[in-house]
Structure 1
């Protein structure tokens, strides 16, 4: 199945990328499917995350956006969606990320429930094992000084686990991840993440570590 062709009502280009269609809107950014072309017949599809125009002049949001890009760029693993580039176009920041042609685990769960099916145990274990490998890579990352980055995703859920039609499994969206080298830090007992997948400590706004991600992944497996 080929990715969709260009859709009306979206920007035609962002930097050197040709926008194909709008995928989603978040609190900080727009998400697009785009095409990158090069010499000869080089072509690949990417996901573009562009900071919302109304947020583009807010330095706090710009810092958060660049923080996410910097953190994601340190991760290089087959089970983590890769960040290819961070740049500016028309006065707004964007990042180009790996496009995974498939469905997220939330969509898979909803489809199976709607049709009265059950996800085979072997498939569930494959998906969760892939996500666990990607998270372990993030948890083990160290900074340039050799010190642990202490990355915690904080938003592990089926919506952030992508399953490619080729069988690949990728963890998405480190946008609210906690890490030692982030310029922006969570203040006080601010709670970030989806309540249904939070550990008790995270729900209470207490300090958390990688075990919070493992707890959330266990709930994903249970579902």
Structure 2
């Protein structure tokens, strides 16, 4: 949300050079097949720019390996879920009339104050929806993680890749158990988020 909310607001309210490029980049993780997205991230980190390589720079200069380590899992999940959250927040701000913000600015508010005091309170339900969608996408993400981070036991293993690993060695009972755990987690978190969203909406009224 720290990325999706300001970027969604920016795409909704402002017209600036290169806006269509940002808009297209946001849509790419949504329309690309998951395996292709994972492969794209892998190529991005291993592409050689002369003697410089992004993955090597993270590993050697920052002592922070990315590819086939846990940061790759986080980055793969973030890339997909953030795209959905940004799109949700942009639609949310598109549906909010900017007139109240304009009035606040004529009364002395800065653009930032109008955003925080006027736009954000009206976008609460959209923020809850964006959180729900982003979390659900991150929980079930499989393809990009498998390609970009791998599925090493105890290192880059997440629930979705655990199901794959258990199925690959014929442990159907373990795969079913993990799948049921994912279903249970999804239901609980979605119910909590729906309850929070309903409570916030009730508070606004």
TM-score by length of 2: 0.27
Structure number with the higher helix fraction is 2
TM-score by length of 1: 0.25
* More RCO (CA 8 Å, sep 6+): 2
